[in-house]
Amino acid sequence: MMSLLLDEVALAALRLADAGVESPRTDAELIAASVHNVRRGELHTVRDCDFDARFWAEIARRAAREPLQHITGTAHFRYLELDVGPGVFVPRPETEVMTGWAIDRLGKMDVAEPVVVDLGTGSGAIALAIGQEVPRARVHAVEADPLARAWAERNVTRYVETAPYTAGRVILHAGDFADALGDLDGTVDLVISNPPYIPVGAYVEPEAGEYDPPAALWSGTDGLDAIRTVQRAARRLLRPGGLVAVEHGAQQGAAVYWVFPEEQGWRDTRNNKDLAGRDRFVTAVWPGEGA
């Protein structure tokens, strides 16, 4: 016999589909799982519907296009479970691919304790994933927005509690890309950033436009202002032979390539794709000033 809860999940999925939610069935199941404190694959075992009112209240929030992760309070990023909510950017799957590139390159680097800088860490997603998957790295995570930084602090604490050996390896800093971490100039092995990159006035889905912090989205008329600042910060921070990886919008590959040109000293500038095959991040090597 199908559980009553699964009947309700099916109805909720219809309601979310009507509201224009992209993955209505998945979201209805994940909300039900979070309400009943079970895994999604265990929903069929739930028999009591005592949580109905809460379930339908949360479905109503999702139908109003509040992000799923704000409702459940959790975002999954690579092997991490992160706390998220109002005031912080919800980490996206496309950023997992760029982070995977960085983890792969750090793994091949012949450096005992690579120094990494994550510019605009938000929830701490990139920095913590690198800390978890490359435990010998020391990761400096920079964030200007105090609200976002509070979420990152919470996630660093949560992460260190589950993996005490990582204490002190992911270090949060308040600051701006432009002049952050001057004491590390010329010494960093890898700079990574998912900066804001949406042109002011462009359309974004309500989940982003109404719930992600504006400082995480908008970046000048062509969307490239923050990427240009990251470029300048990377050439200041990187040691000769250091690497940079910067995320951008799917239509910005060609433009971002020219933010890291050979004429300005960069080498091996490449456009890289996300899992959907769209241009998503640029990578380059900094050979050093005058090389």
Cα(111)–Cα(1) distance, integer angstroms? 58
- Compute how many other C-beta atoms are within 10 angstroms of the C-beta atom of residue 201: 7
Question: Of these, 34, 69, 72, 121, which contacts ligand SAM (CB under 6 A)?
Answer: 121
By beta-carbon proximity to ligand SAM, the closer residue of 58 and 94 is 94
Site for ligand SAM contains 237 (CB under 6 A): no
Q: Where are the alpha helices (DSSP H) in 91-246?
A: 93-108, 125-133, 146-162, 206-209, 225-237
Question: Of these, 67, 120, 131, 223, which contacts ligand SAM (CB under 6 A)?
Answer: 120
Instruction: Give, as ranges, the residues between 212 and 231 that touch ligand SAM (CB under 6 A).
Output: 213, 215-216, 226
Contact 67, 207 (CB under 8 A): yes
Which span (14-22, 60-68, 192-200, 262-270) binds ligand SAM, by CB under 6 A? 192-200
In this structure, are strands 115-119 and 138-143 parallel, antiparallel, or unpaired? parallel
Q: Which residues of the chain form beta strands (DSSP E)?
A: 74-77, 80-83, 115-119, 138-143, 170-174, 188-193, 238-247, 267-273, 279-286
Instruction: Give, as ranges, the residues between 141 and 180 that touch ligand SAM (CB under 6 A).
Output: 142-145, 148, 176-177
Cα(71)–Cα(209) distance, integer angstroms? 16
Instruction: Give, as ranges, the residues between 89 and 108 that touch ligand SAM (CB under 6 A).
Output: 89, 91, 95
By beta-carbon proximity to ligand SAM, the closer residue of 57 and 147 is 147
Binding positions for ligand SAM, rule: CB under 6 A: 89, 91, 95, 120-123, 125-126, 142-145, 148, 176-177, 194-196, 213, 215-216, 226
